[in-house]
């Protein structure tokens, strides 16, 4: 049997402060390969904190975390960074695209640290843009793209390393509902293609797109 993509054992996160803030009370959470999990909760409930721990951006202050069967608590920062680069793709509410770079360049830049030659980076970027339905906009600058198209570029950038886990923090938060629908349809298609997805949202309609939803309230995680 393959290891879960995410296994939290009593993972908790308290920001030191002062005053200390427990953003995540110790919780167990398992996400299997190919799962589509949504995490729903109100503002300030700990959703981004959970995502930051899952994405190796923050270390938990309690408990153990295995990513793809690897005990990441035991790893040094450099090894965590390398693992994050290979296995995890991030998508954020506010796209984070470089304004003076084309869609292709934005996606290609995500591989700068991977020591891949430029021609291969550009080819991989074009493939990723193709995958999100933006082959025809590959030379466009972000300012000329719609919000939904920008988010699809950001998703292409997250996919270009072929991560085992795609973490999305309010991916439709800046989009109107029709545009949000196209982005959510894309996430459905990626899920159908076998990608493991964790999507964080405060919107119950977005949460309902996942195959499984967990709720977080005041830092307390509960499986629905």
Ligand X SMILES: Nc1ncnc2c1ncn2[C@@H]1O[C@H](COP(=O)(O)OP(=O)(O)OP(=O)(O)O)[C@@H](O)[C@H]1O
The option from Mg ion, ligand X, none interacting with 201 (CB < 5 to 8 A, set by class) reads none
Query: Which DSSP helix (H) or strand (E) runs through 67?
Result: strand 62-67
Provide the CB-side half-sphere exposure for 178 (13 A, CA).
1
User: Which region, judged by CB under 5 A, interacts with Mg ion, from 29-37, 44-52, 108-116, 157-165?
Assistant: 44-52
Query: Based on CB atoms, which residue is closest to ligand X, 202 or 212?
Result: 202
CB of 21 to ligand X, least distance (A): 4
**Helices and strands: H and E segment counts in the chain:** 7, 10
Query: Based on CB atoms, which residue is closest to Mg ion, 44 or 69?
Result: 44
Distance, in Å, from the CA atom of 107 to the CA atom of 160, rounded to the nearest integer, reads: 7
Query: Based on CB atoms, which residue is closest to ligand X, 98 or 208?
Result: 208
Asked if 45 is part of the footprint of Mg ion (rule: CB under 5 A), the reply reads no
DSSP class of residue 223 equals: E
Please state the φ and ψ torsions of residue 23, each to the nearest 5 degrees: -80, -25
Asked if 41 is part of the footprint of ligand X (rule: CB under 6 A), the reply reads yes
Give the chain's end-to-end CA distance (angstroms, integer). Answer: 25
CB of 135 to ligand X, least distance (A): 33
| Residues 44-103 close enough to bind ligand X by CB under 6 A | 44-49
Query: Based on CB atoms, which residue is closest to ligand X, 45 or 102?
Result: 45
The option from ligand X, Mg ion, none interacting with 45 (CB < 5 to 8 A, set by class) reads ligand X
Asked if 48 is part of the footprint of Mg ion (rule: CB under 5 A), the reply reads yes
CB of 219 to ligand X, least distance (A): 7
The option from Mg ion, ligand X, none interacting with 4 (CB < 5 to 8 A, set by class) reads none
* Runs of H (alpha helix) within the chain: 47-54, 77-87, 103-109, 118-131, 147-159, 177-192, 204-207
Distance, in Å, from the CA atom of 174 to the CA atom of 183, rounded to the nearest integer, reads: 11
The option from Mg ion, ligand X, none interacting with 21 (CB < 5 to 8 A, set by class) reads ligand X
Query: Based on CB atoms, which residue is closest to ligand X, 2 or 43?
Result: 43
**Residue 164 burial (C-beta neighbours within 10 Å; 0-12, 13-18, 19+):** middle
How far, in Å, are 17, 25, 166, 184, 214 from residue 92 at the CA level?
A: 25, 24, 11, 14, 19
**Binding site residues, Mg ion, CB under 5 A:** 48
Give residues in contact with ligand X (CB under 6 A): 15, 21, 23, 41, 43-49, 202
């Amino acid at each position: 049997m393959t290891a879960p993509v995410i296994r939290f054992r009593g993972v908790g996160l308290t920001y030191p402060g002062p005053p200390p803030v427990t953003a995540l009370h110790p919780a167990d959470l398992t996400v299997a390969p190919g799962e589509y999990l949504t995490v729903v909760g109100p503002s300030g409930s700990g959703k981004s904190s959970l995502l930051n721990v899952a994405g190796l951006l923050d270390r938990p202050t309690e408990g153990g975390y295995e990513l793809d069967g690897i005990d990441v608590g035991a790893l040094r920062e450099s090894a965590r960074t390398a693992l994050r680069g290979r296995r995890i793709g991030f998508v954020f509410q506010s796209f984070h695209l470089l304004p003076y770079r084309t869609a292709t360049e934005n996606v290609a830049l995500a591989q700068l640290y991977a020591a891949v030659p430029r021609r291969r980076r550009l080819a991989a970027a074009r493939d990723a843009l193709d995958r999100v339905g933006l082959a025809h906009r590959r030379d466009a600058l972000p300012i000329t793209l719609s919000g939904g198209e920008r988010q699809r570029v950001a998703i292409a950038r997250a996919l270009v390393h072929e991560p085992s886990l795609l973490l999305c923090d309010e991916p439709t938060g800046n989009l109107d509902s029709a545009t949000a629908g196209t982005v959510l349809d894309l996430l459905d298609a990626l899920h159908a293609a076998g990608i493991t997805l964790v999507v964080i949202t405060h919107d119950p309609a977005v949460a309902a797109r996942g195959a499984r939803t967990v709720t977080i309230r005041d830092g307390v995680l509960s499986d629905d």
